[in-house]
Amino acid sequence: MKIKTRLSLYFTSLSIIILLIGIGSVYLSILGILRAEFFSRLKDRATVAAQLYLKADEISQDSLAIIRGQYLEKIPTEVIRIYNSKNKATFIPEKEPHWDERVVERVRHNGYLQYMNGGRQVVGLFFRDNQGDFVVLASAQDMATDIRMRNLLGIMSIIFLVIIVLCFLMGRWVADSLLYPINQVISRMKIIRASNLNMRVDEGKGNDEISLLARNFNNLLEHLENAFELQKTFVANASHELRTPITSIIGEAEIALVKEREPAEYQRVLRSVLFDSERLGNTITGLLELAEIDMDFSRATLTPVRIDEILWELWAYWNEKLALNLLQVEIDNVIDDERSVIVNCNKSLMYIALNNLISNAFKFSNNQPVKCILRTAKNQLNIDIIDNGLGISTEELGNLFKPFYRASNVADIPGHGLGLYITNSIVSLYMGSLSIKANGGGGTVFSIQFPVE
């Protein structure tokens, strides 16, 4: 069953419950009012009967004539009886007792009694007279009320059915209106394929659940698009980068095997093979790191990580690997709040990203000193990694984050062109940004910005 049908049924069911409660309350209220009015009429009839039979000797003839006129205006199906102190019918004879003695005694004891007896309403009054104590009982069936209530019930039933139909149609219309944006999203989803992942669904201008769903779906499309682009680029570039050293190795080996050569020539060939093998190994290592990023990010739980602690770990690593104080770490203008240096991320991936930048800084500056500066501002964490290396031309800055791309002035330096791409991918995963600019004294400055709480 579709959601809009379920919403319509829920809306209709709720309307039925509310209508039944409302109509039932109105019906019972009207019935109670009409019955109360009829009890009042029966009480008046009993009072008139008592005056007619018990007070006749105490009032004037004119008053007695008025009372008789009132008494003659009978209610259909009316029964009136007057019982004396011995609970015997008097003034109005009866062939068989209409009320048993228990009812008469209850009236005598309580002074007044009214109740329902099947479809009839009964009223009893107790009178003291100079002739003795008497009980007057009157009963009748309110046929007019029964007819009115049947007519009212029929009208209410018709109105109820009409309102239920209108509620269902209204619920259907409301559901269609509410779900229209979702239907638009679904229609858009149906035409999105692997070949057109650049398409996006309309997010609307609101902040409701449907807009949130559309935004999250667009984020998913963006990740998928990036993944597909990465796959295409990876296959194209990886095949080229892997084939080149392999072809070189095979070529060198075939040439060396053509004829006998001098030991020096064999050493040259082996050095060439070793160089190409190292290049191949570096490329495979970079590709494995790239695969590790995708795998770790998809399954790792984000945790609060202190960036300053990672920088000090890298400081210890590189100063032990190269020489003391070649990597300089400066903590500058840090807000006195631990949260200002914390980023929600995967610590291993963040270590890889920062280590790639520091490694490149040493490699392309021939192991000259590298400075790493950590700064904090309001809701922002900044990391600058400054080297004194070869620098990068302005024309090539836009290509540095592409996989397997290498600047023209570092062709003689070993590398595989994946480090900056990997670093930028990791920084982007944690809502950060990576930028590059020339160092005023020569070299390059890599700047990372992360939003923090």
Q: Report yes or no: 79 and 98 within 8 Å, Cβ to Cβ.
A: yes
Q: Is residue 99 part of a domain?
A: yes
* Nearest C-alpha neighbor of 125 from the set 185, 44, 68, 181: 44
Strands 380-386 and 120-129 come out as unpaired
Give a yes or no: residue 165 inside a domain: no
Cα separations (Å) of 57 from 17, 47, 68, 86?
A: 60, 16, 14, 22
Amino acid 448: pLDDT: 92
The CATH number given to whatever domain includes residue 221 is: 1.10.287
Q: Which of 96, 81, 73 is CA-nearest to residue 136?
A: 81
**Do residues 39 and 5 touch, judged by C-beta distance below 8 A?**
no
CA dihedral of residues 272, 275, 276, 281 (deg, nearest 10): 160
**Domain of 232, in residue numbers:** 192-299
Choosing from 272, 299, 326, the residue where a domain stops is 299
82/143 same-domain check: yes
Contact 218, 201 (CB under 8 A): yes
Cβ-based neighbour number of residue 46 at 10 Å:
24
Q: Are residues 210 and 330 in the same domain?
A: no
Is 185 contained in some domain?
no
- Look at residues 359, 346, 344, 351 and name the one whose alpha carbon lies nearest to residue 312: 351
Residue 160 located in a structural domain:
no
pLDDT value at residue 73 = 63
pLDDT at 262: 81
In a domain, 171, yes or no: no
- The arithmetic mean of pLDDT across residues 375-404, rounded, is 80
- Cα separation of 318 and 323, whole Å? 7
- Identify the CATH number of the domain in which residue 113 sits: 3.30.450
> Same domain, yes or no, for 314 and 449?
yes
- pLDDT at 237 > cutoff 60: no
Answer yes or no: do 91 and 223 share one domain. Answer: no
Weakest mean pLDDT among 66-75, 216-225, 410-419: 66-75
User: Considering only CA atoms, which of 219, 215, 230 is closest in space to residue 431?
Assistant: 219
* Type of residue at 331: I
pLDDT above 60 for 56: no
- Residue of 14, 13, 5 lying closest to 172 (CA atoms): 5
Q: What is the mean pLDDT of residues 312-320?
A: 84
Given a cut of 60, is residue 61 above it in pLDDT?
no
DSSP tally for the chain: helices H, then strands E: 9, 12
CA distance 358 to 352: 10
Supply φ then ψ for residue 270, to 5 degrees. Answer: -65, -40
Q: Cβ distance 368 to 387 under 8 Å?
A: yes
Tell whether 69 and 93 lie within a shared domain.
yes
Identify the three-state secondary structure at position 431: coil
Same domain, 12 and 106: yes
What is the tally of structural domains in the chain? Answer: 3
CB-based contacts of 371: which residues, under 8 Å, 6+ apart? 328, 330, 384, 385, 386
Average pLDDT over residues 72-89: 81
- Identify the pLDDT of residue 244: 62
Nearest to 120 by CA among 72, 74, 73, 76: 76
The amino acid present at 37, given as its one-letter code, is E
What does pTM read for this prediction? 0.46
For residues 9 and 138, state if they share a domain: yes
Element (H, E) at 221: helix 209-258
55 within some domain: yes
Asked whether residue 151 carries a pLDDT value surpassing 90, the answer given is yes
pLDDT at 67: 54
Residue burial 116-152, b: 16+ Cβ < 10 Å; e: rest: eeeeebbbbbbbeeeeeebbbbbbbbbeebeeebeeb
- Name the domain boundary from 252, 274, 299: 299
Q: Is residue 156 domain-resident?
A: no
Q: Are residues 314 and 451 in the same domain?
A: yes
Token pair for residue 65?
């004539």
- Name the phi and psi angles at 416, rounded to 5: -130, 0
Name the residue among 289, 294, 301 with its Cα closest to residue 226. 294
| Euclidean distance between CA atoms 292 and 418, whole angstroms | 13
User: Residue 72 has what pLDDT?
Assistant: 54
Residues 313 and 239 in one domain: no
* Residue position matching structure tokens 């609970």: 87
Q: What is the pLDDT of residue 88?
A: 86
Domain edge (last residue) among 96, 123, 148: 148
Neighbour-count burial of 356, counting CB atoms closer than 10 A to its CB (0-12 exposed, 13-18 middle, 19+ buried): buried
Let me know if residue 369 belongs to a domain: yes
What is the per-residue pLDDT for 409?
Answer: 63
Mean pLDDT across the chain, nearest whole number? 79
CATH number for the domain that contains residue 451: 3.30.565.10
Same domain, 49 and 117: yes
- Give the mean pLDDT of 223-240: 65
Q: Does residue 312 sit in the same domain as residue 438?
A: yes
For residue range 189-215, list pLDDT tens digits in order: 777 776 676 777 777 777 777 777 777
Count CB-CB contacts under 10 A for residue 370.
24
Residues 293 and 334 in one domain: no
Query: Which residue type sits at 72?
Result: L
